[in-house]
Structure 1
Amino acid sequence: MNGFVLGGVSSGVGKTVATLSIIQALEDAGHEVQPAKAGPDFIDPSHHEAIAGRPSRTLDLWLCGADGLRRNYRRGEGDVCVVEGVMGLYDGDGSSTAMVAEALDLPVVLVVDAKAGMESVAATALGFREYADTIGRDIEVAGVVAQRAHGGRHEQGIRDALPDDLAYFGRIPPNDDLEIPDRHLGLEMGGEAALPRAALREAAESLEAERLAAVASEPPTPESPAPSAASAEPVDATIAVASDAAFCFRYPATLERFRERAEIVTFSPVAGDPVPDADAVYLPGGYPELHTAELESAGTLAELGNLAADGFPVLGECGGLMAMSQSLTTAAGERHEMAGILPADVTMHDRYQALDHVELEAVEGTLTADAGETIRGHEFHYSSADVDGDARFAFETVRGDGIDGDHDGLTEYDSLGTYVHVHVESGAFDRFLERVEG
């Protein structure tokens, strides 16, 4: 499957809107599009899926490694892969958009804000292309998409200013309907605020779909099999996965691995579903802070707390950790009881408390790692956890903030809650499946 990377000149330049418009343009031209995200984000991929109709692949060099990137890319479907970048093209030391493009050997289409520029769009693109050589990055900046550009003289001026070896792939016209509402953690989810198809189709008409498809190339094959390949036999286990508006941050590859090796059932704590008959529960991240009253009153978390106290394994990531705690206090100061599995009280804040790629070292064997093993992940949360004095941590933080700056992975009974999201390429979910096998 051929693909290209959409890199921005900065955060906030409109990469997501450009990505969705390009997906629409390619599909209108008869292509099967596989969306992807060059970064650990869950929100942008939800918008990709709302338009493309298939899950967006997570392509993060820190989380997956170079071969993991290529393996995850190849799990996609379609004939053209559109990879939305993260932040500005060169921003980020763990996994920048440029690093992902280089690892996959994919060309970069640069998204440039043309609202107040014309020749300057060409100058910006030329600078971004030349900077790759300056820092020794082996990437190709193939051309530009002009965000918020008008037609007529404005568009023609951009075209004329570009050198011959920088292609013009079209523009995204200014349109108030092409605005996605945001909140803490980023944009609203795709299922809540999908862009209108009519507005996307209007933008798609200003894009050169076949020229974009023609510039796409195919990444190299992975050099090695997945680390878990040797132990990827099915396990005798059923995993119950929380899935609703409070627990919606999970990578497609995680659920794919669960289905490859075990049975999977889903349930909604917000709706008050009983905990399914299973061997373990996975609580992904999401927005439990927006559903505290429902979670407190529904009864599912209380049931889960009783089960965990009897040794039933529960694995929670970020929002899952928050739901496993004793209480969750909103930014407005409203305190709500949670599952009571972990000895911690969680409080929401107006500013984010951690944002980084993370590396953890296990100080003892736990659901996702053996003692001494390291796993890589990502943290981004607006909450903090006040832990009891006798709390036990499974991990020391080699990089990142974790729960208290030095540790992550609160463990109690046979359960584990962490602020860190990990990808299946880390091997953590394979170890989880093998730990809970019936």
Structure 2
Amino acid sequence: MKGVVLGGVASGVGKTVATLAAIRALEDAGYAVQPAKAGPDFIDPSHHARVAGRPSRTLDSWLQGEDGLHRNYARGEGDVCVVEGVMGLYDGDVSSTAAVAEALDLPVALVVDASAGMESVAATALGFRAYADRIDRDVDVAGVIAQRAHGGRHEDGIREALPEGMTYLGRIPPNDDLAVPERHLGLHMGDESPVPDDALDAAAEGLRTERLLDIARKPAGAAEPNGTGEANEPTVGDRPRVAVARDEAFRFAYPATVERLRERATVEPFAPTAGDPLPPCDGVYLPGGYPELHAAELAGSPALDDISDAAAEGMPVLGECGGLMALAETLTTVDGETHAMAGALPADVRMCDRYQALDHVELRARRDGPTAAAGETLRGHEFHYSTADVASDARFAFDVERGTGIDGDRDGLIEHRTLGTYCHVHPESGAFDAFLDGL
């Protein structure tokens, strides 16, 4: 599958809108588009999936390693892959957009805010191309998308000023309807505040699909799509059942995670905020999300009582970030309201007005646990607005080698076979295979 990376000159330049417009333009031209996102984000991919009609792939060299990056890319389907970058093209010390583009040998379409520039857009693009040589990186800045650019003389001036060998890929016109509302943790999800179709159609009309396809190319060193774990896939009769929370409170699960679970287990989705009880299962996965926005519904959910009972009986339960919050004793919102949670882990969680951690993470297991054996390391990421006050005798599963964790030095509260972390991991880390092996 050919691909192209949309990298921005900075955060907030309009990469998400440009990506959605590129998906729409290519699909209007008759191509099946596989969206993807550089970095560990869950929210932008939800917008991709709404427009493309298929899940967006997560591409992060820290979470997955280079081989995992290739495998996850190869799992995609379609004629062309459009990869949205993270922050500015070169920003990010362990997993930048440039690192992803270089690892996959994909060209970069640079998204530049042209609202107050013309020839300067070309100068910016030239600088981004030259910077790759300065830092000795093989990053191919092959074209430019002019964000918030007018037509006529404005567009002509940008196109004519571009340096030789850099393709003008079109423009996204200024349009207030293209803005996506924000809240803590980022933008609203794609099904909550979608970009209006008429505004997206107008944005797509300004892009040159044939030029996007001209610069797109297949990644170098492509891997087989299947990751680890297939050799141990159980027969149908032996498949364990994993209950996976999926509702307004639990939204942050990578498509690759659900795929890995389905390769080796029967996935039983349930919606705690809708009053669903815990379905019959052999293990439970609570992904991250927004439990703080639905704390009252969770407090009254029979599923949390069921999870508490199952955890006390030794069933494996894994909660990540929002899942950790739901497994705690209590959750206090920014309004000061305290709600009882499952009580499976000895912690009281409190929401804060600003984020408490945002980083790629590396954890080393202190002891054998549900997702790693003693001494093994896991890589992931954390982004949370809460703190956890833990009991003095609480047990931790991991030492934090990079990141913040629960108390700065440790992450992963563990009781019986229940584990709650602030860290989100990707299935390429091996954590979910270890979890499944323990069922």
3-state SS of paired residue (1:248): strand
**TM superposition shift of 1:141:** 0.2
CA distance in 2: counterparts of 1:411 and 1:278, whole angstroms: 20
Q: Is the 8 A contact 1:29 1:210 kept in 2?
A: no
For residue 431 of structure 1, what is the amino acid of its counterpart? A
Q: Is the 8 A contact 2:11 2:87 kept in 1?
A: yes
What residue in structure 1 maps to residue 94 of structure 2? Answer: 94
What residue in structure 2 maps to residue 124 of structure 1? Answer: 124
The counterpart of 1:241, out of the listed 244, 247, 254, is 244
For residue 320 of structure 1, what is the amino acid of its counterpart? G
Are 1:151 and 2:154 counterparts? no
**TM superposition shift of 1:304:** 1.3
The counterpart of 1:361, out of the listed 318, 342, 364, is 364
Describe how 1:81-230 pairs up with structure 2 within 5 A.
Answer: 81-222=81-222, 226-230=227-231
CA distance in 1: counterparts of 2:239 and 2:205, whole angstroms: 51
**TM superposition shift of 1:139:** 1.1
Q: Is the 8 A contact 2:8 2:15 kept in 1?
A: yes
Which runs of no fewer than 5 residues in structure 1 stay unpaired?
none
3-state SS of paired residue (2:309): helix
CA distance in 2: counterparts of 1:94 and 1:136, whole angstroms: 16
What residue in structure 2 maps to residue 276 of structure 1? Answer: 279
Are 1:36 and 2:39 counterparts? no
Are 1:307 and 2:310 counterparts? yes
Are 1:351 and 2:322 counterparts? no
Please give the TM-score of this superposition, normalised by the length of structure 1: 0.98
What residue in structure 2 maps to residue 10 of structure 1? Answer: 10
CA distance in 1: counterparts of 2:280 and 2:51, whole angstroms: 34
Amino-acid identity (%): 68
What residue in structure 2 maps to residue 379 of structure 1? Answer: 382
**TM superposition shift of 1:230:** 4.6
Describe how 1:368-407 pairs up with structure 2 within 5 A.
Answer: 368-407=371-410
CA distance in 2: counterparts of 1:215 and 1:410, whole angstroms: 48
Are 1:324 and 2:324 counterparts? no
3-state SS of paired residue (2:251): coil
Please give the TM-score of this superposition, normalised by the length of structure 2: 0.98
* 1:2-33 residue CA offsets vs partner (Å, 9 max, x unmatched): 00100000000000000000100000111100
For residue 202 of structure 1, what is the amino acid of its counterpart? A
**TM superposition shift of 1:231:** 3.6
For residue 377 of structure 2, what is the amino acid of its counterpart? T
**TM superposition shift of 1:236:** 2.9
CA distance in 2: counterparts of 1:166 and 1:81, whole angstroms: 20
What residue in structure 2 maps to residue 59 of structure 1? Answer: 59
4+ runs deviating over 2 angstroms = 220-236
3-state SS of paired residue (1:31): coil
**TM superposition shift of 1:232:** 4.4
RMSD of equivalent CA atoms: 1.2
What residue in structure 1 maps to residue 69 of structure 2? Answer: 69
For residue 154 of structure 1, what is the amino acid of its counterpart? H
CA distance in 2: counterparts of 1:79 and 1:364, whole angstroms: 45
What residue in structure 2 maps to residue 255 of structure 1? Answer: 258
For residue 110 of structure 1, what is the amino acid of its counterpart? L
Which runs of no fewer than 5 residues in structure 2 stay unpaired?
none
Count of residues in correspondence between the two structures = 436
Q: Which moved more, 1:216-225 or 1:121-130?
A: 216-225
Are 1:50 and 2:53 counterparts? no
Are 1:338 and 2:341 counterparts? yes
